[in-house]
Amino acid sequence: MHKYILFSFLVILLFTNADCKKDIVTPEDIKPGSRNYTWTVDTVYAPYNLFSDLTGNSPTDLWAASSGDGEKIFYHYDGIKWTTDFIPRQFSPASIFSLSPTSVWSGGMRGEIWHYDGINWLRQYKHLISGYNEGTANIIFEDICAFSESDIYFIGQYLNDTTRTGLIVHFNGSSWKQIKIPNIRTTFGKMRKHINGKFYFSGLTNEQFTESTYQLYEFDRTTLEQIKSGLQNNDEFGSILPLGNKIYFIIGYDFFDYLNGQFMKMAHLSNSPNFLNAGIGRNIIDIFLLFSDGIAHYNGTDVQYLFRFSERIAITDWQIFEKDIFVVGQDTKGNNLIFHGNLNK
């Protein structure tokens, strides 16, 4: 693993939009997020063993999940380096969520869910569906949303032949329950809870002969409602945008709030084809935006690159803390790169 120290000389993004000021309503008590970061890049040499998910309790306690190698599926970061225990496991994780240093959950292939107790990773549960045949079908948990040891959601897909059906499973601390929802031909991913108590997550439906689509969903623990759908192209694709304890949305090149069943445009973010229609932030004027050629920042006025990649990077996940942001991606050689921005004092 090599680390390179890179200082954040900001490069003004050419696609800054002059309408941003009038598009967004900014509370007076919120200050624009700083752009004064120092960046480091960790390279984990694991060719084609992709870090698919990232979680953590602090900048010195992060976990990454990787499904490509049975001996190297869980990596931990202690603030200095990334390590794995090299213990062979018959498990292919797709998602990981840390509740505390002694409680980390992971979901993955074959409907399996594993748990780390601070010492060992052990299988906790295997989800089965009536008529399920492991030879022709697969259950994959793509994301986890946990609040306590007795309130955890696992979402993903049930794949049977070529049909993918959305799936939600809840754990209450003692028993597991599949939530009854409409039979939806999609793959659920990136579930987050809003301050209003509702959950929002995305769905992807990949087509072989027609254009693939996405969906955005609202879930109140009992009822699932689709609130938006569209094509998976840059000017229409939608994703959830977590900002602190609130959930917003990126749709196409714009940033939206969702109030009373309506999407309200907050700002225009980009016209660049390199924009990945994804981001994370602390509030509405401190948003990190992800591009295939770098990491940018929106402060309520304009968008600027904070860090430029030396090549195109396939971004897979990200985590944000009070003074730190981590972005995980893969380079063209198949290595995992972890970009870490630390706010300067």
pLDDT per residue rounded down to tens, the chain (345 residues): 444 334 333 333 333 333 333 344 445 578 999 999 999 999 998 777 889 999 999 999 999 999 877 678 999 999 999 999 999 999 999 999 999 999 999 999 999 999 999 999 999 999 998 776 766 678 999 999 999 999 999 999 998 877 889 999 999 999 999 999 999 999 998 999 999 999 999 999 877 667 789 999 999 999 999 999 998 887 789 999 999 999 999 999 999 999 999 999 999 999 999 999 999 999 999 999 999 999 999 999 999 999 999 999 999 999 999 999 999 999 988 899 999 999 998
For the chain, the distance separating the N- and C-terminal CA atoms, rounded to the nearest angstrom, is 27
- The partner residues of 123 in beta bridges, in order of sequence, read 114
What pLDDT, on a 0 to 100 scale, did the predictor assign at position 135?
66
Instruction: Return the structure tokens found at 227.
Output: 């609130």
pLDDT (0 to 100) of residue 334: 86
Q: How many CA atoms lie within 13 A of 271 on its CB side?
A: 7
Cα Rg, the chain, nearest whole Å: 20
Q: What is the pTM of this model?
A: 0.89
Domain ranges (residues) in the chain? 2-343
Q: What's residue 154's pLDDT?
A: 97
Question: Which class is domain 2-343?
Answer: mainly beta
pLDDT at site 295: 98
Question: What pLDDT shows up at residue 232?
Answer: 87
Cβ 153 vs Cβ 142: under 8 Å? no
Q: 3-state class of 211 per DSSP?
A: coil
The predicted pLDDT at position 235 comes to 78
Please report the pLDDT score of residue 45 as a whole number: 85
Give me the pLDDT at residue 208, please.
67
Q: From the centroid of its chain, how far is CA 296?
A: 17
| Cβ-contact 6, 310 below 8 angstroms | no
Q: Which residue has the tokens 């797709």?
A: 94
- Which residue is associated with the tokens 């109140």? 220
Are the CB atoms for 82 and 65 separated by under 8 Å?
A: no
Q: Which residues contact 140 (CB under 8 A, 6 or more apart)?
A: 94, 107, 108, 109, 111, 156, 157, 159, 187
The pLDDT assigned to 209 comes to: 62
Residue with tokens 């209003």: 196
Amino acid at 68: G
State the DSSP H helix or E strand holding residue 20, giving kind and residue range, or none if neither: helix 20-23
CB within 8 A of 126, min separation 6: which ones? 110, 111, 112, 113
What CA–CA distance (Å, rounded) separates 209 from 224? 28
From CA 8, how far away is CA 33, in angstroms rounded? Answer: 15
> Side chain identity at 265, as an amino acid letter?
K
Cα separation, 14 vs 304, whole angstroms: 8
Integer Cα distance of 20 and 269 in angstroms: 8
